[in-house]
Amino acid sequence: MFTKISADSIEPALWTLRAYNASIETEASLSRLNEDLIESKLFELEELEPDCPETYAIYWLTYSRLFELALLCAGNYADHFEFAAAGDLLVNPRLILIHFRSGCNAVKKDRHRKLTEQFQYVAGEREAVVRWLKQETIPEIVKKPLLVHMNERMERSDYLSQEYLDAVESRMKRIADAIGFLASWHLADNNAFYLRVQCASPSEKSFIESTLCRFDKEIFFELGQDLRRLAVNPYQKSRFLGRHSISCSDSQRLPSEEYLCTDLEYLKASSG
């Protein structure tokens, strides 16, 4: 007989995270993924951050799943010549405020314009605008790009394995490299790129393919399988988890039989 987890703390958190995971699985198609959706789901998830250690591992696996969708989205943008959209997720801060030394109210930087263009009215000539910006303004990054923000949070969590975090860094670099490689072709769009590739030799096609992201959802689904197993057995191992400890009292050893049976049914349905 399994001992029942405290109904006032752990089980509600598990059910909430399960519902959240179900929601992101319905949103996981590339046609629906974009920065606004991911940011909205991130806000929702960060509101669910648990305060009991028993659910930390499941929370950070869930967080990693959302990150995988952000990575998939950015890689897809890069592969299809949508460099600005990919850059927004990877390098372009979501919010920068420009503070004035004079004490005037801060101004939001136009995300897709240069500061010299946004403040051209101040001095006219570019050199004069640059000089004025250096002397009179102080930029503040308020919101980092989503991939950077999420990666930093995952690194600080102390719950995710170094192997997984290294793979994250590698794939973020792959997006940057793909953008740089494809941008160097100076083609108008993805269609022009496709036509150019059709004229390439087999070895050239192979090389070009090796420079693209071509991300898939394999890790996203593997993370989902691991967190579902952890919901049944908190001592279940996962290659995505590093040093995480679960301090279970004698009355909080494993989920109740009722919870366990329900979760096993869920796993069977998911695998089918």
88-110: pLDDT as tens digits:
999 999 999 999 999 999 999 99
Per-residue confidence (pLDDT) for residue 9, from 0 to 100: 53
Whether 235 maps to a domain, the answer reads yes
Whether residue 191 is found in the same domain as residue 160: yes
Whether residue 190 is found in the same domain as residue 106: no
Per-residue confidence (pLDDT) for residue 219, from 0 to 100: 98
Per-residue confidence (pLDDT) for residue 224, from 0 to 100: 96
Whether residue 158 is found in the same domain as residue 207: yes
Whether 169 maps to a domain, the answer reads yes
Give the ranges where the chain is alpha helix by DSSP (H): 10-26, 35-46, 56-79, 83-90, 115-118, 120-123, 126-136, 146-157, 162-183, 190-198, 202-211, 218-232, 257-271
How many CA atoms does the CB half-sphere of 44 hold within 13 Å? 15
pTM for the whole structure: 0.84
Mean pLDDT, rounded, for 69-87: 97
Whether residue 181 is found in the same domain as residue 266: yes
Question: Would the pLDDT of 32 be above 50?
Answer: yes
Q: Tally the residues of the chain.
A: 272
Whether residue 57 is found in the same domain as residue 39: yes
Whether residue 255 is found in the same domain as residue 182: yes
pLDDT band at 243 (very low <50, low <70, confident <90, very high): low
Nearest to 13 by CA among 48, 61, 44: 48
Per-residue confidence (pLDDT) for residue 150, from 0 to 100: 98
Whether residue 189 is found in the same domain as residue 240: yes
Nearest to 211 by CA among 176, 186, 245, 237: 176
Whether residue 29 is found in the same domain as residue 112: no
Q: Give the structural domain span for 212.
A: 10-89+146-271
**Weakest-pLDDT range from 18-22, 168-172, 191-195:** 191-195
Whether residue 136 is found in the same domain as residue 238: no
Per-residue confidence (pLDDT) for residue 52, from 0 to 100: 80
Per-residue confidence (pLDDT) for residue 10, from 0 to 100: 61
> How large a percentage of the chain has pLDDT more than 90?
69
Per-residue confidence (pLDDT) for residue 241, from 0 to 100: 96
Nearest to 223 by CA among 17, 16, 2, 8: 17
Tell me: the pLDDT tens digits for 144-188? 999 999 999 999 999 999 999 999 999 999 999 999 999 998 887
> How large a percentage of the chain has pLDDT more than 70?
85
Q: Could you write out the three-class secondary structure of 214-226? A: CCCCHHHHHHHHH
Per-residue confidence (pLDDT) for residue 193, from 0 to 100: 85
Task: Show which of 105, 123, 143 is a domain's final residue.
Answer: 143
- CB neighbours of 58 closer than 8 A, spacing ≥ 6? 14, 17, 227, 230, 231
Nearest to 150 by CA among 175, 172, 170: 172
Whether 40 maps to a domain, the answer reads yes
Whether residue 190 is found in the same domain as residue 121: no
Per-residue confidence (pLDDT) for residue 234, from 0 to 100: 86
**Pairwise CA distance, residues 183 & 132, whole Å:** 32
Whether residue 59 is found in the same domain as residue 70: yes
